Amino acid sequence: MEVLISTPITTLEAIDFTGKRVQTILDGKLPEGQFTTQWNVTELPAGIYHVRIVVEGSGAVAKKVVVL
């Protein structure tokens, strides 16, 4: 019997204070491990944003980020 393991889709989004998604930072299949990415905030107004990461098949995690 062959078992196929799929790589889950990972989405990293910036959410403003109203709950609106203002930017998708990352969206795709990533292998297991640690990753870093850059977030270009030059087109966003200063404020407080939540960065939400969603991995297919699991819950979402959000962190608060202040953009000056």
Q: Is 54 inside any structural domain?
A: yes
Number of structural domains found in the chain: 1
Q: Is residue 57 part of a domain?
A: yes
Return the closest-CA partner of residue 16 out of 47, 60, 38: 47
Q: Which domain holds residue 49?
A: 9-67
CATH number at residue 14: 2.60.40.3080
In a domain, 33, yes or no: yes
Q: Mean pLDDT, the chain, as a whole number?
A: 84
pLDDT per residue as tens digits for the range 54-67? 888 787 787 888 88
Q: pTM score, two decimals? A: 0.74
CA distances (Å), origin 4, targets 1, 7, 30, 53: 10, 10, 16, 25
